[in-house]
Amino acid sequence: MIESAAAFYEVEEVEMRQAYASTLLELAKQNPNIIALEADLMSSISTNKIQGQIPGQLINCGIMEANMMGVAAGLALTGKIPFLHTFAQFATRRAFDQLFVSGGYARLNLKILGSDSGVTAEHNGGTHMAFEDMGLVRLIPNAVVYEASDSTMLSYLLRKISSEYGVHYIRTMRKAAVKIYNSGETFEEGKGKILREGGDVTIIASGIMVAEALKAADILRNHGVRATVADMYSIKPIDEELIIKLARKTGAVVTAENHNVIGGLGSAVAEVLSEHCPTPLRRIGVREQFGQVGKTEYLKEVYNLAAKNIAEAVRELKPY
Amino acid sequence: MSQTITEMELLRDKIRLKTLKELHHLGFGHYGGSLSIVETLAVLYGGVMKIDRANPKWEERDYFILSKGHGGPAYYAALAMKGFFAEEVLYTLNQNGTSLPSHPDRNLTPGVDMTTGSLGQGISVAVGVALSHKLSGKSNSTYCIVGDGELNEGQCWEAFQFAAHHKLNHLSVLVDDNKKQLDGLTKDIIDPIDFAEKFNAFGFYTLKVDGSSIPEIYDAIKLGKSQIEKPVAIILDTIKGQGVPYLETKADNHHIRPNAKDEAAILEAIAELERSMERRITG
C-alpha cells in the first residue's frame, strides 16, 4: 500500500497533455533518435508548444493515421524511436491493421499515446469515443498496454518505454486527472499497485476509474465494508499474481474501467480469475453502447461508471 | 554501361527462371504479379542498389520494400541469385516452417527489409525509411514497388502526399502497371485513368517506361537521381505474367493452380529459359 497516496481527490495542476509534451521534450533532447509523430492534433496534446525546441524530431503527419503508423514503422526500421500520438480511436480502431501488421507483426518499436480515451472525449462524442482501444491492442501479440491514471504515472511510463523495445500503447485522458501519486513513485510493467487495503472486497480499476474506485471505497467504509483498491495500470501484461492474491484474500472482485467490459481490464481480470482462482466478479464498464457527447461527470452517470455504481456492484457480492 | 546492362539481363533471366521453378515446385502461387516485376528487380539488385549480402542489415545500404507483397516469389529469386541465401531455399517457398512465406517477412528472410502483404502499408514504411535518412542527413536510397491494383488503397495516396511534402528525393516509387488485379482488369474494377498524371499532380518527378526493358528502367532510375526536391515515380508499363508468352495471355493469371495445359506451358518456359541461359554462357 502506498502511504503517500493522495487522499482528497484533488485535480492535478499539470494536465496529462502537458505531462506528455514536457516529458517528450525531455526525452527528445536526451536522445536524437526519438521522433514524435502527430496527426494534426498537436494543439490538442500541447506538442505545438515544444515544436520549436526539437526541430526535426516532431513531425506533423497530417490527418493520415494509417500512413503515420507506416511512417513510424519506417523510422523504427532505421533505428529511430517513434512516439505517435492521436486520439485513442484513431490510434487503434482507425489504423488497426497498420498497427497490427507494420508494427506488431513486423516486430517494430512503436510508442503510442492514445488520448481522449472513453468518456474523456466529452464533446467530440460517439465518433471519437474509444471504449475498445485497450481490447484491440491487447489482441496484438507481445504488445504492452498501459492506462495512465495521473501525470506522475504518465511521465514515468513514457520515460520507461522510451528505452524498451516493442509496441507500447499508453491510454490516457488529455486534461487534468485526479492526483493519485506523489512524484518519485515508480511503476513496473505487469504490476498493479495497491492504493488502499481492506479485507472484504477488491476493487481493481484503471485510468480515471481509479479515483472512482477510491471514492467507492469511502462510500463502502461508511457501510462497514472494507475494500482493497488496486490501480491495474498495466493492462497487458497484467499482474496475475496480485489479482489472485487479492481474490483469495477478499473473496470478491469488482473491476472498473472507462472502456467496454469486453476486451479491456474487466476481461483481463476475468480471464485470470476463471483460469486460476474462480471468484465472484462484477465488471463496471460500458456495455453494448456507443459513445455520445457530454461532460465526463455526466457520461460517467450515463454509462454507470460513477463511484456509486462501483459501490452498488460490491453490494451484489457483499450485501451491506 | 553495356556491361552492366548485359549483367542485369542475365540476372533478369535467372530471376525469371527461378521464380517459375519455385512456383512450379510449390504447385501454385502468384505467377502473374511475380513475373511482371522481374525486370525491375534485376535492375535494382543487378545495377542500382547498394547492398551487402554478407551484411544484409548494413546501415549504409539502399532499402527495398516490396509493397505489393504477393510478388514475394520473384523477390526471393532475386535475393537468392544475389547470394543472400542458398538457391535450394527457394524450393521451400510456402512449405510448413519455411523462411519464404507467400508475403515477405523481414524477420524470416535474409535481405528482406520489411514485412509486407497487407496492401498499401509497405509504401508508408518506405516513406518512413526515406524520411528517417533525410532527418539524419544520410543519402541512402529507398526503392518501393507498388502494384497498380494496390493503388486502389487510400493509404498509398496518403503516403505519396507525405513523400512530396517532405521532399523525399531519395525515394523512388516503382509502379508495376500490369493492368490487372485479382478479379480482373484494373480499368474494369477501379479505373486508374492515368497514373502519370496523378503522380505529377501529387508532386512527384514522374517517368513512364517499358517495364520489360532493362535499359529503360535503368535509365529512368538513374534520371531520378537528379532530383533534389521531388520524390520519383516510375510508371512501369508491364504485363501480368511478363516474359512467359503463354502466361501473359492467360486471362486469369493472378494466382495460378496450373491445369495440364498450364503445366506444359510452364515447363516449356522453364526449359526455354534454361536453354537461353546455356547459350549465353557457352556463347
pLDDT tens string B169-187: 999 999 999 999 999 999 9
Q: Any residues with CB less than 8 A from the CB of A288 and at least 6 apart, and which?
A: none
Phi-psi region of B170 (alpha: psi -120 to 50; beta: other; left: phi over 0): alpha
* Boundary of a domain, candidates A116, A138, A171: A171
Task: Tell me which residue has cell 517457398.
Answer: B93
Residue A78 lies in a domain: yes
The distance of A255 to chain B (nearest Cα, Å) reads 37
Chain A environment of B109 (Cβ under 8 Å):
none
Chain B environment of A61 (Cβ under 8 Å):
162
Q: Does B113 touch chain A (CB under 8 A)?
A: yes
Residue A288 lies in a domain: yes
| B3 pLDDT tier (thresholds 50, 70, 90) | confident
Cα–Cα separations (whole angstroms), residue A245 to A194, A241, A255, B204: 12, 6, 15, 61
What's the pLDDT at B254?
92
- Is B2-282 CATH 3.90.550.10? no
pLDDT at A175 over 70: yes
Q: Any residues with CB less than 8 A from the CB of A200 and at least 6 apart, and which?
A: A220, A225, A226, A227, A250, A252, A318
Residue A232 lies in a domain: yes
Q: What is the pLDDT of residues A228-270, one digit of tens each?
A: 999 999 999 999 999 999 999 999 999 999 999 999 999 999 9
Q: Which CATH number does the domain housing residue A80 bear?
A: 3.40.50.970
Do the strands A193-196 and A227-231 form a parallel or antiparallel pair, or are they unpaired? antiparallel
Q: What is the pLDDT of residues A120-139, one digit of tens each?
A: 999 999 999 999 999 999 99
How many other C-beta atoms lie within 10 A of the C-beta of residue A316? Answer: 11
Return the sign of the alpha-carbon dihedral for residues A147, A149, A153, A159: positive
DSSP B90: G
Residue pair A187/A157 in contact by the 8 Å Cβ criterion: yes
Task: Tell me which residue has cell 512456383.
Answer: B23
What's the pLDDT at B63?
98
Task: Please give the mean pLDDT across all residues of chain B.
Answer: 96
- The CA-to-CA distance between both ends of chain B, in Å, stands at 20
Name the E strands within chain A. Answer: 34-38, 58-60, 81-87, 110-115, 144-147, 167-171, 193-196, 201-205, 227-231, 234-236, 253-260, 281-286
| A6 pLDDT tier (thresholds 50, 70, 90) | very low
Residue B114: name the closest of B78, B171, B156, B72 by CA.
Answer: B72
| A7 pLDDT tier (thresholds 50, 70, 90) | low
Chain B environment of A102 (Cβ under 8 Å):
115, 118, 121, 124-125
C-alpha cell at A311: 459501490
Segments making up each domain of chain B, as ranges: 2-282
What's the pLDDT at B282?
78
Q: Any residues with CB less than 8 A from the CB of B191 and at least 6 apart, and which?
A: none
Residues A98 and A152 in one domain: yes
Residues A88 and A214 in one domain: no
State percent of chain B over pLDDT 70: 99
Phi-psi region of B138 (alpha: psi -120 to 50; beta: other; left: phi over 0): beta
pLDDT at B112 over 80: yes
- What total number of domains does chain A contain? 2
What is the number of CB-based contacts under 8 A between chain A and chain B? 102
Residue A98's closest chain B neighbor by CA? Answer: B121
Residue A86 lies in a domain: yes
Q: Does B119 touch chain A (CB under 8 A)?
A: no
Flag if A70 and B107 touch (Cβ within 8 Å). Answer: no
| B281 pLDDT tier (thresholds 50, 70, 90) | confident
Name the residue facing A67 among B107, B113, B159 (closest C-beta). Answer: B159
Which 149-208 residues of chain B touch chain A by CB within 8 A? Answer: 154-155, 158-159, 161-162, 165
When pLDDT is averaged across residues B51-55 and rounded to a whole number, the result is 96
Residue A102 lies in a domain: yes
| B1 pLDDT tier (thresholds 50, 70, 90) | low
Residues A217 and A267 in one domain: yes
Rounded Cα–Cα distance for residues B166 and A70 (Å):
15
The distance of B186 to chain A (nearest Cα, Å) reads 23
Residue A183 lies in a domain: no
Q: Does B127 touch chain A (CB under 8 A)?
A: yes
Q: Does B110 touch chain A (CB under 8 A)?
A: no
pLDDT at A4 over 70: no
What's the pLDDT at A50?
97
Phi-psi region of B193 (alpha: psi -120 to 50; beta: other; left: phi over 0): left
Residue B153: name the closest of B101, B108, B116 by CA.
Answer: B116
Chain B environment of A71 (Cβ under 8 Å):
124-125, 127-128, 131, 159, 162
C-alpha cell at B152: 486502389
DSSP A7: S
Q: Tell me the Cα Rg of chain A.
A: 19
- Residue A38 main-chain phi, psi, to 5 deg: -130, 155
Q: Which CATH number does the domain housing residue A269 bear?
A: 3.40.50.920
Q: Tell me the Cα Rg of chain B.
A: 18
Rounded Cα–Cα distance for residues A73 and B169 (Å):
20
Residues A71 and A150 in one domain: yes
Rounded Cα–Cα distance for residues B66 and B104 (Å):
8
- Global pTM reads 0.96
Task: Please give the mean pLDDT across all residues of chain A.
Answer: 96
Do the strands B171-177 and B232-237 form a parallel or antiparallel pair, or are they unpaired? parallel
Name the residue facing B127 among A74, A80, A98 (closest C-beta). Answer: A74
Full strand arrangement of the beta sheet holding B63-66: B63-66, B142-147, B171-177, B232-237, B205-210
Rounded Cα–Cα distance for residues A14 and A179 (Å):
10
Three-state SS at A60: strand
Domain of A300? Answer: 193-317
C-alpha cell at A24: 517528450
Residue B262: name the closest of B15, B71, B93, B20 by CA.
Answer: B20
Residue A218 lies in a domain: yes
* Boundary of a domain, candidates A136, A171, A206: A171
What's the pLDDT at A231?
98
Flag if B131 and A107 touch (Cβ within 8 Å). Answer: no
Chain A environment of B164 (Cβ under 8 Å):
none
- The CA-to-CA distance between both ends of chain A, in Å, stands at 25
Q: Any residues with CB less than 8 A from the CB of B7 and at least 6 apart, and which?
A: B46, B47
Q: What is the pLDDT of residues A205-233, one digit of tens each?
A: 999 999 999 999 999 999 999 999 999 99
DSSP A99: I
* Boundary of a domain, candidates A141, A171, A201: A171
Q: What is the pLDDT of residues A37-75, one digit of tens each?
A: 999 999 999 999 999 999 999 999 999 999 999 999 999
Residue A1 lies in a domain: no
Phi-psi region of A263 (alpha: psi -120 to 50; beta: other; left: phi over 0): left
Name the residue facing A71 among B113, B122, B128 (closest C-beta). Answer: B128
Flag if A77 and B131 touch (Cβ within 8 Å). Answer: no
What's the pLDDT at A2?
47
**DSSP symbols for B19-48:** HHHHHHHHT-B-HHHHHTTHHHHHHIIIII
Name the residue facing A74 among B117, B128, B165 (closest C-beta). Answer: B128
Residues A265 and A208 in one domain: yes
The distance of A137 to chain B (nearest Cα, Å) reads 18
Rounded Cα–Cα distance for residues A200 and A217 (Å):
11
The distance of B22 to chain A (nearest Cα, Å) reads 25
Residue B124: its H or E element: helix B121-135
What's the pLDDT at A9?
87
C-alpha cell at A77: 526500421
